[in-house]
Every structure is written in C-alpha cells, then in structure tokens.
Amino acid sequence: MQKLTDFIRYYLPNEDLEELLASFSEIKYVRRNDIFLRPPQSSGFIAFVEKGLFRVYFCDDAGKEITTWFSFEDMVITDLLSFYTGQKAFFYVQALEDCEVRLISKKRLDELYDKRPDYREFGRKFAEEALVITMQRLLTFYSKGAEEHYLELLSQPELLQRVPLKHLATYIGITDSSLSRIRKNLT
C-alpha cells in the first residue's frame, strides 16, 4: 500500500488521502499472458500495478498486434480512451508477468470527486500527465527512425530485460527481423 500512497502523494502532496486510498481496495491477481482487458469490454477502472508488467496493444486490420504501452510496478494500467469516454475498450491489456493490481472503479472515483473536490486535482494532474506522455511518444514515434527508437530503448534496461523482443519490435513500429538486424548492426 505504501507504493500506492507514494503514487497518489505525487499528485496530491498536501491532502488527506485516507478515503482515496481506501477506494483502491479491490486486489486482483492476473497470471502471466492472461488478458486483463479486451475489446469490447468497457474499462470502468484504473488499476495500480503493485507487482508485474503489462502491455497495452491493439490489432490492426490485418490482425497484427501493435504494442502501444508498457506498465511496470508503481504505474497505472487501463484503456484510458475507454475509461474517459465510457466507450468500449479499443485496446487489449495483457500481463507479461504474474501481476498484482489494486483497482478503483470510475464510478467510485467520480463519487470521490463529487464528495471531495480536492481529489479532482489528482484526476486533473493524472490526465494531464497521461496526455503529455502520449504526445511525447507520438512525436518520438513519427520523428525518429527505428534505429533511434531502439537506441532509446537501450537507456531503459528494465524494458529490455523484461519485455519479449517481439513486443518491443511492434512498440517501435518494426518487425522482429528488422529489430534483429538493428541489434546485429549495433554490436
């Protein structure tokens, strides 16, 4: 629970968090390779990752899986598009390791926002940060080549150690064989 407290305290450094923390009371265990969320489910929750690693992906028209995000310990996971719009999920959320998460429902979070307006700051700051990270990822994705993307991944050893190469390849927008060539050329 301390990691969750630290996570929320980042957004609300001076607030009483007791009620908000208590609302993250549902604990779920997700086994390696299980799909935690899939279309057409609705993502009516945010999950704080206590343990494990998830990837977020979608399938293109040809059925190819495209990885868009990874969430490690001390991060959150959901389909943000579904969470904020109330529409059906577009993205799959898959556990790449055995995972433990703490959930809060959108309904409960909205109730807390109504009851405790100071908690709205958490939602605002979280949404702003998610938008900034998404925009940075898009800018990087479209402005750099595959080799530059891979070189950036090298600065994140945990990603390289824990994520299968086939998922890293789709994350940077290339095939497995292209990633193998890049890795071979750089060694």
Mean pLDDT along residues 109-124 = 89
- Residue 17 predicted with pLDDT over 90: no
166 domain-assigned: no
37 domain-assigned: yes
- Residue 16 predicted with pLDDT over 90: no
Q: Where residue 119 falls among pLDDT bands split at 50, 70, 90?
A: confident
SS3 letters across 133-145: HHHHHHHHHHHCC
Decide if 61 contacts 96 (C-beta within 8 A): no
Look over the chain and give the mean of its residue pLDDT values, rounded to a whole number. 92
176 domain-assigned: no
11 domain-assigned: yes
108 domain-assigned: yes
Per residue in 127-180, pLDDT tens? 999 999 999 989 988 899 989 988 888 888 888 899 999 999 999 999 999 999
Region of residue 87 (phi > 0: left; psi between -120 and 50: alpha; otherwise: beta): beta
Residues near 44 by beta carbon (within 8 Å), at least 6 away in sequence = 83, 86, 105, 106, 107
**Closest to 12 in 3D by CA, of 118, 105, 160, 144:** 118
22 domain-assigned: yes
User: Tell me, what CATH number does 20's domain have?
Assistant: 2.60.120.10
Range of the domain at 56: 2-115
How many structural domains compose the chain?
A: 1
24 domain-assigned: yes
Write the burial class of residue 92 (CB in 10 Å: 0-12 exposed, 13-18 middle, 19+ buried): buried
Return the structure tokens found at 28. 């779920």
- State if pTM tops 0.85: yes
Return the structure tokens found at 138. 């898009």
Q: Where residue 107 falls among pLDDT bands split at 50, 70, 90?
A: very high
Mean pLDDT along residues 72-101 = 95
How far CA 8 is from CA of 3, 20, 98, in Å, comes to 9, 9, 24
96 φ, ψ to 5°? -90, -10
100 domain-assigned: yes
Measure the CA angle with vertex 65, ends 70 and 155; round to 5°. 35
Residues near 129 by beta carbon (within 8 Å), at least 6 away in sequence = none
Decide if 92 contacts 35 (C-beta within 8 A): yes
Mean pLDDT along residues 46-54 = 96
Write the burial class of residue 42 (CB in 10 Å: 0-12 exposed, 13-18 middle, 19+ buried): middle
> Tell me, what's the pLDDT at 14?
79
